[in-house]
Every structure is written in C-alpha cells, then in structure tokens.
Amino acid sequence: MTVKEEIARRRTFGIIAHPDAGKTTLTEKLLLFGGAIQSAGAVKSNKIKKSTTSDFMEIEKQRGISVATSVMAFEYMGKKINILDTPGHEDFAEDTYRTLTAVDSVIMVIDCVKGVEPQTRKLIEVCRMRNTPVVTFINKMDREGQNAFDLLDEIEKELKIRVRPLAWPIGIGKSFKGVYNLYEKNLILFQGDKKSVIEEYVKIEDLNDGLIDKLIGADFANQLRADVELIDGVYDEFNVEEYRAGKLSPVFFGSAVNNFGIKELLDSFIEFAPTPKERETDEGIIDPLDPKFSGFIFKIHANLDPKHRDRIAFLRICSGVFERNKYYYHVRDGKQVRFSNPTAFMAQDKQVIDEAYPGDIVGLYDSGTFKIADTITEGKKMNFKGIPSFSPELFRYVENLDPMKTKQLQKGLEQLTDEGVAQLFTKKTDGRKIIGTVGALQFEVIQFRLKGEYNASCGYQPIQLYKALWISCPDHKKLEAFMHDRANHIAHDKDGKPVFLAESAWLLQMAQEKFPDIEFHLKSEF
C-alpha cells in the first residue's frame, strides 16, 4: 500500500463530553466493534470487578472518571481508527485542550436527559478555534429525557453550530423503540431488557411502507413519518464539505451502555470523517503528503506501567513515514534522536511498531528528553503551533511529609508536572515549590500518584495568589530591574522562565503601571 493510500484510510478523532455523559462507555463500545477488545468493562457496575479499557490509572478505577487522555487504535472495515478518549472532568481541561490539537475531528457525546452542559460548551469552543469537524451522538435514549427536537434546538443555540440529524429516535425512555437511519434508509429496532439488548435491522426505503406499522405500531410509525417530514423541511441536506469545515454537525441517537446505535455512528463516521489534515508551523503549512517526516509531542505520561516506572511521550505524526531505529532531529534540543521501541496503544497495552503514518499516535519511551509541544522532524528546523501552557487558577505550596523521601518527591513532582496536568513553580527568594492547577481535583491526583507511584508523601499549604504570569521584556536590564524590585513575587517555571506571582488583581495592575515595558503573559507560548 502506498503512503497516500495509508493516509487516506486513517481516521484520528477525539471523544469529548461533560462528565457522566457516557463518553468512556462509547469509547469502549467502539473498541468492541473494532474487535480490539472482547468485552466491555462496566464503568459503574460493582458486580463486575473490571474497569474500562481507557480508564487504566488506579485513581480512575477507584473514582470511575477519566483523568488522563487515553490513546487507542484498531482496524475497522479497512480503515485505521485512532481514538483519543479525553478527560471529561473540567479540572483536566488543559490536557483535553492539548489532545484536541492532535486530532482531525471529534465525536461529541450529549446526555439526552441533561442536554448541553458547561464543559461541553468549553470543549466546543476549542474545536471552533481550529474549525474541527464535530459529529454529535445523543446518548442514553433508553432513559426518560428531553424531546429530540428540543435537544437539537438547544445544541444549535448553546453551542452555535448547525446540526443535521442522520438518524432519528422512535420514542424515548421506556417507550424507546429504536432508531431510523436517515442516511442508510433502514430501521434499527431496540429490543430486550436491561440485561440483554438486541439490534434488529430492517431495510425500509419508503417510510409509507406498512411494515413499519407492524414493527413499531401505528402511532409510533405515524409520529416517525411526521418527524422525518419536519426534519426534511427544517434542516439543510447533509453536506460533507460543510461538516469537514466545522460548520455542520451530523447527529446520531443511541444508548452506549446498551451498545445501541453505535454501529450506525461508526459506519457513517468512517465514511465521511476527514483523513489527516495539514498542520501549521512557524515555517508554513505542512501537508500530510510531504515525504519528509514531522510530528509533535502533545502529551507525556509518567508510569504508564507502574511496574517499570516508564515515561511515554505521545507523538502525533503530521507528515512522512515514521520508522523505527531511524535518526530524527529534535528541534528544541538541536540533537539527533533514535527510537528503538516506538509503540502503538490499546490504552495501557502497548506493542512495538516498525513504522507509522500521518494521523497515527506513537508512544516514545522518554528518559526526560521531551517536553509538551516539542517538534521532531527529518532535519527541518520548525515548530508546530498552538500548544501552550495556560496560567493556573489554583495554587498550593508543596510540603514534604517524609524528609527521607526527598529525592522521590522531587522526581515525582518533576515527572508528573511534565505531563501538563499541573505546573510547578520555584520561588526565587526561598526555593519553595508551588503547584498551580486549573482545578482542585488535580491536587488530589498528584498526591495519590506520588504515594502510589513514587512512594513519596506530600501535603499542601495555602498560598494567596491571584495569577501566575510569565514575564518578558526586550530590554534585559529592565527585566532584571523588575525582578529585583519584585523579588518576593518572582518564581521560575520548570523551563527556567521567569514568572510573576500576583497576589491580587490590584497588585498586578500596580506592577503593570509602574513597569510599562514589562509584558505579562497568560500563556507560556509567546
């Protein structure tokens, strides 16, 4: 198969949703269809002592939530599918943001009971920044939820994206009969109880066919006909190009936990979802068909396998063919690097690969060489754009609770903050460590992982901070003068960049007025 054909058969997408909308369950069922796993883990069942494939960290198993991005790949109907299951919890929005830089499209999961929720709004904004194509899957149709038309209106109004149903539900909750696939022109019947659900497919080209009345009853059949007539009158025809431009979202309905409606979603998705797209660098646009290899690191995960204390850097391939044992150029370091064990993923299960193509996500064993946003090329000096770190919202001093484990604590903090779930600052005056996060849950996750993975104990002390802002100035002497004048409020991030710790909005304003030449940045990419 040629490189062009390999690229054409790849679909790399992320799954986004508000917590508990059913995102991880959907991921699991997609893997089932791909034959990547034999049985799906019950996310919430206490009877089945098994966790989902994508939630593999110990804290995820205990809490039943996703706190790290998982990467999974499988073959389906001649296509190579790469799924990135992102954390739904808002405290891990930054990890999700970076993950969305590595995908070509997304599937957005909406809970039919709750509708559009706050985290969904934030994530769709990130998609809009890159015109990322969005497919909508309305989940939990076997529960008593909102009217389907009301949900579509809410999505259009709240998320400011046009929609077009490609499937339509028949009934909802206890009266849920199934879905009519408007794209394939067939009826999928929902049968069974909570323990076993059977999908029955019936090809129906004409909705006036009397067979529908026999299968679902006259009332439901007449309602379906009226609904479809309204859909055709109100919504535009589905246009693939508008979808790929991020302007139109096709909508599917189903129940992920019951495995219902998933096949229709997957079959349609692989048909019209975009193949790997071109990417922007500081040297111009990189086309996937460019013969020279290039890619970027969008995530780092320490201790993917706790038994081996390994550290994996996740590489999104953007152009050319990645080959095992070949030398590549690490742009930030200016050094040649070679990878003897590049891996493909099924959550925490890994296998060594010899080559990979644009769209693929490759795991690279890392001894501390890489940082998030690093670019690797076949010699070209360039950097991929748009993977910054953001100013944290919450801050705590780190306290070592076991002085005998100081080295373990230091190593743990370095490696865990390398992953990007939190940021580590060191105060200039007394060397105290400060952790900054987007949400409170991250402090708990760091504590939990330090204990479980590094055998180190840490506590937290409160610190009154409004913002941590990166500072710069073209005049080096003026920057030095500012840092001397505000020494008690200066720290350095992990890369040694100076950071101003503002205790309040008023103090930040005073500093800006007194030192007009100093630039204050809310993100590290400047």
Residue 495, in any domain of the structure: yes
pLDDT at 369 over 60: yes
Q: Do 79 and 208 fall within a single domain?
A: yes
Beta-bridge partner residues of 312: 301, 365
First to last CA, the chain: 42
Q: Do 343 and 248 fall within a single domain?
A: no
Residues 240-272 have pLDDT tens digits of 999 999 999 999 999 888 888 888 899 899 999
The answer to whether the beta carbons of residues 294 and 376 sit under 8 Å apart is: yes
Structure tokens that stand for 175 in this block = 């009266």
Last residue of a domain, one of 377, 404, 429: 377
Please tell me the distance from the alpha carbon of residue 414 to that of residue 373, in angstroms, as a whole number.
17
The answer to whether the beta carbons of residues 289 and 3 sit under 8 Å apart is: yes
Q: Do 177 and 324 fall within a single domain?
A: no
Last residue of a domain, one of 256, 272, 288: 272
Last residue of a domain, one of 272, 291, 309: 272
Q: What is the CATH number of the domain that holds 431?
A: 3.30.70.3280
Of 68-72, 78-82, 313-317, 364-368, the range with the lowest mean pLDDT is 68-72
Identify the band that residue 22 occupies on the pLDDT scale cut at 50, 70 and 90: confident
Q: Model's pTM, two decimal places?
A: 0.78
Q: Do 68 and 11 fall within a single domain?
A: yes
Q: Do 358 and 291 fall within a single domain?
A: yes
Structure tokens that stand for 202 in this block = 């019936």
Residue 383, in any domain of the structure: no
Please tell me the distance from the alpha carbon of residue 94 to that of residue 320, in angstroms, as a whole number.
28
Residues 124-170 have pLDDT tens digits of 887 887 889 999 999 999 889 899 999 999 999 999 999 999 999 99
pLDDT at 194 over 60: no
Please tell me the distance from the alpha carbon of residue 479 to that of residue 483, in angstroms, as a whole number.
6
pLDDT at 128: 85
411-447: buried (b, 16+ CB within 10 Å) or exposed (e) per residue?
A: bbbebbbbbbbbbbbebbeeeebbbbbbbebbbbbbb
Residue 423, in any domain of the structure: yes
Pairing of strands 327-330, 197-203: unpaired
Instruction: Indicate the angle between helix axes 118-129 and 93-100, nearest 10 degrees.
Output: 30
Q: Do 212 and 302 fall within a single domain?
A: no
Q: Do 192 and 97 fall within a single domain?
A: yes
Residue 85, in any domain of the structure: yes
Q: Do 158 and 85 fall within a single domain?
A: yes
Domain count, the chain: 3
Q: What is the mean pLDDT of residues 8-35?
A: 84
Residues 210-250 have pLDDT tens digits of 888 888 889 999 999 999 999 989 998 899 999 999 999 99
Identify the band that residue 303 occupies on the pLDDT scale cut at 50, 70 and 90: low
Q: Which ranges of 135-245 would DSSP assign to H, the alpha helix?
A: 148-159, 211-216, 218-234, 240-244
Residue 388, in any domain of the structure: no
pLDDT at 483 over 50: yes
Q: Which domain holds residue 88?
A: 3-272
Q: What is the CATH number of the domain that holds 370?
A: 3.40.50.300
Measured from the Cβ of residue 334, the count of other Cβ atoms closer than 10 Å reads: 8
Percent of the chain past pLDDT 70, that is, above it, reads: 85
Please tell me the distance from the alpha carbon of residue 451 to that of residue 50, in angstroms, as a whole number.
23
Residue 526, in any domain of the structure: no
Q: Do 24 and 111 fall within a single domain?
A: yes
Three-state SS for 222? Answer: helix
Output 189 or 499, whichever has higher pLDDT. Answer: 499
Q: Do 336 and 434 fall within a single domain?
A: no
pLDDT at 203 over 50: yes
Strand order in the sheet with 498-502: 458-462, 394-400, 433-437, 423-427, 490-492, 498-502, 467-472, 519-521
pLDDT at 63 over 70: no
Q: The tokens 């389907």 sit on which residue?
A: 148
pLDDT at 469 over 50: yes
Mean pLDDT of the chain: 84
Q: What is the mean pLDDT of residues 346-354?
A: 70
Q: Do 18 and 100 fall within a single domain?
A: yes
Of 31-35, 163-167, 330-334, the range with the lowest mean pLDDT is 31-35
Residues 504-525 have pLDDT tens digits of 999 999 999 999 999 999 877 7
Q: The tokens 């710069």 sit on which residue?
A: 472
Q: Do 71 and 212 fall within a single domain?
A: yes
